[in-house]
Structure 1
Amino acid sequence: MSSASERRSHIDAAVLIVDDEADIRELLELTLLRMGLGADAAGTLADARALLAEHRYKLCLTDMRLPDGDGLTLVREIAQHHPELPVAVITAYGSMENAVTALKEGAFDYLSKPVSLEQLRALVKSVFDLPKRASESRPVGASSLTGESPTMLQVRSMIERLARSQAPVYISGESGSGKERAARLIHEYGPRAAKPFVAVNCGAIPENLMESEFFGYRKGAFTGADADRDGFFQAANGGTLFLDEVGDLPLPMQVKLLRAIQEKRVRRVGDTAEQPVDLRIISATHRNLKELVDQGRFRQDLFYRLNVIELRMPALRERREDIPALVDALLGRLAQEAGLPVPRVDAAANAALLAYAFPGNVRELENILERALALHGGQCITVEDLHLEPREEEAGPHGIPGGGVALERESLQDYLDRVERQAINEAIAKTDGNRTAAARLLGVTFRSLRYRMERLGMKE
C-alpha cells in the first residue's frame, strides 16, 4: 500500500495532523485526501513543532493527549507564533472540560472520539471557506454596529476575532445594547455566513413546548402532531443558533440543551434515532448568569459550556461620543424607510440627547428618533419633538437635565460643559475615586479623561 506522502505527492499539504495513534492519522489523511487536501502527520509534539517551523498550513488537527506533552500546549504555541492558523482539537469522548479549555485558549473547534467523518468534513469545509470570505467586503446595513469610541472599536475587533472561531460565545449587556446585532455580525463575518442564522427568544416559549420547538417532532408524537417538523437546531444546521435570554430557560430544558451541545446530536420528540447537527451556538442575556448559577437557577455546567468566550456590549451611556453618529445613521435609515427627507437635529436637541441616560440604550434611541421623525413639524427636529423621559431629580420643562430654562440662561458650550462635568463626577463616584475605572465606564481613555478634567477645571 502506498504511503500517505506518496498518495498526496501532487497535492500541497494544507493540513497538519497531530496524533499518536497511527490508525487515527491514517483515517484523517484518507478523509482529507478524498476532499482534495493533502496532509502532513506528526505523532508527537516535537514532530509537530518541527513541521510547523518548516511549512505553512491552513488547518491543524491535534489530539489532546500526546506522548511528550498535550494538545493544549500546541494550541497555545500556535496562537502565539502562528495566529493565522486555525486549530481544532480532538478529545476523548466525554472530556468536554478539555475541549472548553482549548476553545478558551484559542482553538477553532473540537472533535470528539470516535471521530465522526461527517463532522470532520463540515469542520474542514468551514475552515477552507474562511480565506474566501475574508476577502469579501464586510456586511453593512441593519446589522452593522455604529460608533468610533474606544469601547466600540474594541467590540468590533473582538467580533472579527470571534468570527474565525467556532467556540460558543456568550454576549452580555443591557437590553437594547445590540446583543443580537453583534451575534449576527459574528455569523456574517464567519464561514457560516451563507447558512441560516436562527434567533430564538428563550423567554417567549411556553415550557411545555420547549423540547418540540428546539428539537422538532415526529408525526403522531402527540395530539396535533400531524406531520414531521424540524426544530430550531435542525433549522440552524450548518449555520448559527442564537439563544437570546438564555437565562430564562427552565432547568429541565437546560439539561437537554447541554446534551445537544456536547454531543452535537438531537432527537426529535417521538423519534428513536438521533440526528447529527453542525451549528455554532451564540447565547445572550441581560441578566447576570453567574448570579443565577449561584442561586441554583442555572446549571453551572451549561454556564461554562456557553460562556467559553464572553463579549460584553456596552451601554449607550458608556459611549456617549457615539451618539451623534448613531443619530445620523438611524435617522438616515428611518427616513429612507418612511420615504421622507432626512431632517436636521438642532443644537439643543443634540445636547439633550448627549445628556440623556438612555436606560433602553440604542433601541430606545431608535424609538425616540422614529417618533420624532413622525411628529416633527418642519425640516428640523427640536427638543420638544424628542419627548425625552425626565429623571425625577433633575427634570426640567423639556425633560432634559436642567430643563429648557437652563438652556435659555447659558450658552450651549456652558451647558455641554456642565453636563460633561456631571457625567465625570458621577463616574468617579461610582468607581470610588478610581479614575482609570471611571474612564472605562465613560468609554474614554485615561489620558482623555485627564484632559477633559483639566479643561473643565476639575481637581485631580
Structure 2
Amino acid sequence: MSKQFALVIDDERDIRELLTLTLGRMGLVVETAATVSDAKQRLAGNRYALCFTDMRLPDGTGHEVIELIAAQYPDTPVAMITAYGNVDAAVVALKAGAFDFVSKPVDINVLRRLVQTALRLSEEKKASVDASSAKLIGESQPMKELRATIAKVARSQAPVYVAGESGVGKELASRLIHELGPRASAAFVPVNCGAIPSELMESEFFGHRKGSFTGAHADKEGLFQAADGGTLFLDEVAELPLHMQVKLLRVIQEKAVRPIGARAEVAVDVRILSATHKNLARLVDLGSFRQDLFYRINVIELRVPPLRERRDDIPLLASRILDRLGREADRAPARLTPDALKALQAYEFPGNVRELENILERAVALCEDGSISAEDMRLIARPPASASMPEPAAITQTPTYRPPSPQMPAPEAPGIMLPDSAYSGDLAATVAETERAVITKALEATRWNRTAAAKQLGLTLRQLRYRLEKLGIE
C-alpha cells in the first residue's frame, strides 16, 4: 500500500508537533509549513491525501491556502484550524471550499474522526454525476446542473440547505449528497421537524438519561447520536421552535450534545443537511427564524427546480413511474396516449413530482386496456401556479382571529363557500361540519397536497394533521 501524505500549515510549533504526532500514529507521512509561501512550495512538489491550515499565518491567511487548493488541487481535502468558538471564520472557510474545520485547542478524538472521513473521501473521489442519474431522473439542463452540483458538495462536510417547493425531491437530493460522500457507509437519518411535538423535541434530538423526567424509564439515544459518523437531514427545518433553534446552533458550533439529565456533553460527528419549502430568509426578517442559525445551516444552498421548469423530463419521469406501478401490480405497465402526454406537459404541477406520481397512480386505476388518456388523468384546469397560489417558498402568516361583530358575519376561508347547511341548532356539530367543508375544499383545490392546503388555510402542517385526524378526513 502506497504512503499517504498530509500537510500541516501553522506558524505555532506546538500545533505542528501535535498534529504530526497524531497523524503519524494514523499511518500518515506528515510534512509541515509555517507560512503561505512554504505551503505553496509544498503543494507544488507533492500530492497530499489531506491538508490542515491555520487561519492566520505570518505572510497571509488560511483562506488564501484554501482557495488555492480548491482551484489547483481539488482532490485534496483541506481543513481549517480555527480559534475556539470562532465559527464565523469556519463558515467563511467552508464557503471557500474547506472540507471541514477543527478548533483550538485541538480535540484528538474530533481530529481522528475528521482524518478518517477525509481519507475515505480520497478513496471514494471517483464518485461521479453518473452515480446519481438513476435516482434524480431527467436529462434537462436544470437536472444536469443539479447532479453536477450534488457531486461537488458531496465531497465537503459543510452544511447544505436544500431549497425547493413541496414535492420536488429535496430528501432524494439530500440522500444523494450523503451517498456520494465519504459518510455513505454510515447512517442517513431523516427527521421531519414539523412532526415532532415541541415538548418532545429536546429528547428526540439529544436523547435522555433514565429518570431524568417522568416516563424516562431507560436511557434513550437521540437523533444526533443515531446519525453519529453520518448525516442528519432536517426536513421542514423552518418548523423548529425558537428554543430548539438555539440548542441546534450550539450543537453545530460545539459538535457535541447534552442528553437530558446528563452531566457531560457527548461528542458527535454529524453532517447537517436541511430543507424547507418556505423562504427562510424571509422568516429571518420576520423574526421567526434565528439569523445566526440560518447563517450556519446555509453555508451551501442547493435549489431543486420545480417540475414546470423542466417539462422536457416529464415523458421520462412518467415512463419510470408507470414501469414501477406495473411491477408493483405484477402486470404490464400502462402507457400514455399522445393526448395524455401533451396534457401532462401543459399542466403546471403545483405538487411537482409527487403530484405526477399521484396523477398517474389514479389514471392507472381508471384507464382501460392499459392505455391512459387525458380524461383518465382528470387534470384540473387552473391558471399558472404563480397566479393561483403563492409559491411554496413564500410565507403565509396565520391570520389573527377577531370575533365577528353583530353587524358582520363570521369570516370564511378565502375563496371557499360555506355550505347552506352549515347553520343548525347544534353548535358543536355546525362548527365541525363547517370546518370539515372548509378543509376539504382546500385539499381539493391543492389536489390533496397537505402542505399547500395548510398554507392556504393559514395553519401549520401539524395543526392541519390534528384537524384531519379529529374530523376523520382521510
- For the aligned pair, the TM-score class normalised by the smaller chain equals 0.7 to 0.9
> By how many angstroms is 1:136 displaced?
6.2
2:345 aligned residue (351, 354, 368): 354
Residues 224-373 of structure 1: matches in 2 within 5 Å? 224-373=215-364
Q: Distance in 2 between matches of 1:389 and 1:83?
A: 49
> The residue matched to 1:373 in structure 2 has which SS?
helix
> By how many angstroms is 1:139 displaced?
8.7
| Cα deviation 1:261-298 (Å, max 9, x = unaligned) | 11000000111110000010000000000000001111
> By how many angstroms is 1:91 displaced?
0.5
Residue identity opposite 1:73 in structure 2: E
Distance 1:230 1:142, change over 3 A: farther
Distance 1:334 1:137, change over 3 A: farther
Residues 210-225 of structure 1: matches in 2 within 5 Å? 210-225=201-216
Distance 1:237 1:96, change over 3 A: same
Residue number in structure 2 paired with 1:209: 200
TM-score by length of 2: 0.79
Q: Distance in 2 between matches of 1:231 and 1:389?
A: 44
Residues 96-175 of structure 1: matches in 2 within 5 Å? 96-135=87-126, 144-175=135-166
1:380 aligned residue (371, 375, 379): 371
Residue number in structure 1 paired with 2:53: 62
Between stretches 130-139 and 358-367, larger displacement belongs to 130-139
> The residue matched to 1:341 in structure 2 has which SS?
coil
Q: Distance in 1 between matches of 2:379 and 2:285?
A: 38
Distance 1:374 1:108, change over 3 A: same
Distance 1:133 1:370, change over 3 A: farther
Residue identity opposite 1:304 in structure 2: Y
> By how many angstroms is 1:140 displaced?
6.8
- Verify the 8 A CA contact 2:132 2:147 in the aligned structure 1: no
> By how many angstroms is 1:389 displaced?
2.1
Q: Distance in 2 between matches of 1:335 and 1:365?
A: 16
| Cα deviation 1:216-248 (Å, max 9, x = unaligned) | 000011111100001110010000000011011
| Cα deviation 1:344-403 (Å, max 9, x = unaligned) | 21100000000000000011001111222233221211112212122169xxxxxxxxxx
Distance 1:143 1:225, change over 3 A: farther
Distance 1:111 1:84, change over 3 A: same
> By how many angstroms is 1:334 displaced?
2.2
2:185 aligned residue (186, 189, 194): 194
> By how many angstroms is 1:313 displaced?
0.7
| Cα deviation 1:188-240 (Å, max 9, x = unaligned) | 00010110000010111111111011000000111111000011100100000
- Verify the 8 A CA contact 1:60 1:87 in the aligned structure 2: yes
Residue number in structure 1 paired with 2:11: 20
Between stretches 189-198 and 380-389, larger displacement belongs to 380-389
Residue number in structure 1 paired with 2:167: 176
Residue number in structure 1 paired with 2:42: 51
| Cα deviation 1:21-47 (Å, max 9, x = unaligned) | 111111111111111111111111111
Supply the RMSD in Å over aligned alpha carbons: 1.9
Q: Distance in 1 between matches of 2:171 and 2:163?
A: 10
> The residue matched to 2:357 in structure 1 has which SS?
helix
> By how many angstroms is 1:330 displaced?
1.4
2:68 aligned residue (70, 77, 82): 77
> By how many angstroms is 1:343 displaced?
1.5
- Verify the 8 A CA contact 2:6 2:30 in the aligned structure 1: yes
Between stretches 354-363 and 366-375, larger displacement belongs to 366-375
> The residue matched to 1:41 in structure 2 has which SS?
strand
- Verify the 8 A CA contact 1:11 1:36 in the aligned structure 2: no
Q: Distance in 2 between matches of 1:143 and 1:122?
A: 31
> The residue matched to 2:51 in structure 1 has which SS?
strand
Q: Distance in 2 between matches of 1:123 and 1:375?
A: 54
Q: Distance in 1 between matches of 2:373 and 2:33?
A: 69
Residue identity opposite 1:47 in structure 2: D
> The residue matched to 2:144 in structure 1 has which SS?
helix
Distance 1:325 1:358, change over 3 A: same
TM-score by length of 1: 0.81
> By how many angstroms is 1:143 displaced?
7.9
> By how many angstroms is 1:310 displaced?
0.2
> By how many angstroms is 1:11 displaced?
7.7
Distance 1:82 1:134, change over 3 A: closer
Q: Distance in 1 between matches of 2:127 and 2:98?
A: 24
> The residue matched to 1:352 in structure 2 has which SS?
helix
Q: Distance in 2 between matches of 1:22 and 1:256?
A: 36
> The residue matched to 1:192 in structure 2 has which SS?
coil
Unaligned runs of 5+ residues in structure 2 are 385-474
Between stretches 124-133 and 229-238, larger displacement belongs to 124-133
Residue identity opposite 1:88 in structure 2: A
Query: How many residues end up aligned between the 2 structures?
Result: 385
Residue number in structure 2 paired with 1:426: none
